[in-house]
Structure 1
Amino acid sequence: MSRTEEWREERRRCLERARLVVVKVGSAVLTDADGLSDNVMSGLARQLATLRGVDGARKAVLVSSGAVAAGRRALARHGRTCETQGLAARQAAAALGQGQLMRLWDKVLRPYGIPVAQVLLTRDDLRARTRFLNARNTFAELLSWDALPIVNENDTVSVQELKFGDNDCLASLLVNLVGADLYINLTSAPGVFASNPDADADAEILSCIDDVSRLDLGRLCGGKTSVGTGGMYSKLLAARRASQLGVPTLILPGRQEDVICRALAGEDVGTWVRPAEHAISRRKFWLAYQSDPAGTLWVDEGAAEALSGKGGSLLPGGVRRVDGTFQKGALVRIARLGCDGPQSSLGVGLTNYAAGELRKIMGLRRHEVAAILGDAHYPEVIHRDNLLLDAAV
């Protein structure tokens, strides 16, 4: 079997067997010059009904942007305009628009007998383990009722350190939360280009990405869309996270007619991102992406080799520099420090030491650490069970 035949057969099997799908649709797909597009949303409602099937055997969770655009449209109906560049203005516009967004989704899905449920999340809802489990149970109950959970970030209460950053990030974390086996990302682009189309007019669409972790995202992606907060960079980062769970991603042109149905029928459309050959545990996924790294630990070549090549833990002796201020138990980035300065990111992990303690013991051996901190110290700075290499952060 050729490589092309292999991934197409893999795609066919995955699409056929998928029983829980996370679908994300961005503002650039949902909106036009006047705000939310009723026609686009009606077309997507029809496709979501087809995706679920007449017997409801396949479940779906929808991550929908568009609240800010809906808020602008609501104000425009009253003869007012608003500037939504600042955080407070975007949060206020989202407060105005979230109800409008849900009302439209309810309207277009009602003819198919699909009840909708609004779920608004902050990153803290997924970071706190108890709230994570409560959210998972709520989704499971909604899906058992054949409802369609429609998820968005709770913009009006999110502060910077609790924001997902964009709905691509939120959707990729939901793949883990709900236990999805397929992730569909609807975008304004026809798929993933082989090179940056802003710099290369002849750039071609990649039908399949074998290993998303090996892509040079900075070279491929030319920034964010004008309407949304993401862009192809964040979509590929989300696909990489899903891939680590063993979940494939379909990046589809969301404004093309019946694009989801055509993809499910086997048509070559958009870009298929293959899952990683060896999936990580959902626990490691949760700890790696529960929050943004609070700092960076720079390690020498010996420590980098022990982590990457031997599956070891990070010891104090391998740490050469500590950036940031953080407490014990924080998520931190681990990066290689070469002879000529900073090199590359290795992964993320939960630290057993606060930043101040690490600056006292970095580069030291175990007996030297004990002389400074006493016997009640950890042998590892980051244990390998609390470490994820090649994290998509």
Structure 2
Amino acid sequence: MDGGAAVDDAGLKALLEHFPVFWGEVDEPWQAREPGGGAFADTGTAPADAHPTPHQYAAFAGLADLAPAAAFLRDGDGRYLWANHAYAHLYGTVPQELVGKYIEDFDGPAEAAQFRALDQEILTRGTPVRHTLDYRRPDGSAGQAVGHRFPVRENTRTCVAGIYVDLTDQLRAMAQWQEAQDSLQALRDHSGLPCALLSANGRVVEASAAAAELFQLSLPELVGRRAHTLLAPEPGLDRLHRRWNGLITRRTRRLETSAVLVDADGRQRRAQLHLTTVGNSAARARHVWAVVTHHSLAHDAHPSLTAAQVRILSLLAAGSSNGDIATSLKLSRQTVDYHLSRLRELLGAATRPSLVARAYVLGILAPRAWPPRSATASHPLSTA
């Protein structure tokens, strides 16, 4: 205390009578000897069966009336002595309409019987009880709240006080969230699409069975892997890394790009990657969904193709003759013949049609483009 003034037990008890608190004194076996405090102090001298006046329970009301938790005080007969606004709101009314009335005035027979039984349990046991409460909301829907009921002394009587937090909206939101999670899991597991949830540092958090199959791995082997170990080295990886950082820092929300995937056997395939960040709450994205589409046939790595060789393949796929290709690229006919011979050797194709088909299934040429063109300017089989 300021000034060094001492406060004895009697003085402390007198001081606490003016504060909205409870205090209690117990002996060594934890038997209550003396309770006190001004939280439910009777500020008047009204008889026990009188209706409470507005100035009664003022200390407690000042503490709890505007609290978000719903609180009430009832006597042993089920009559409301006090309620705060949050409790009255559960019944679509105001505290003044509750005070002086009974449980049955606001609750149906089944709920009223349940609440009276809980009150009697408190009065009989003399100890607080924590429980979850089901109730009927004013709109007729089911509600649920969790909290405590406990005994208090008021006007020489033991009454029942309660304080609850309404969980109805939270539980509904959790149910909707769980439904969304179940739908996403079903889509992931049964769509047949190779997809994975990646952490911000590029580690696989979740994956579909189709994704595991694509990389020739089991699901436990795929989950936990770093994503860069699933990509073949190529010049385009630096650009992909920059665009990934743009996703994580939320400069962009989604991107579509081409990449070369490599499976557990070292075989490669060109694929389209669709990357989308999850959520909008943080400055940095925590997760990214990756979906793989239009992946080419798995194949062993080949020597790099030159830009001219990729351009020759695209012109060949468009139906150009060797002479047309030579004119278009300003090359000699002999040079074009040499490149085509070399391409047949590199790609394992004996004829012109099989060479074009091989270029598409290996992902060298874009499958959805006309006129034909390279799938990417930095294709793994190309220095372009």
TM over 0.5: no
TM-score category of the 2 structures, normalised to the smaller one: under 0.3
Give the number of the structure whose residues are more often helix, by fraction.
1
- Normalised by the length of structure 2, the TM-score is 0.23
- Normalised by the length of structure 1, the TM-score is 0.22
Structure of greater Rg: 2
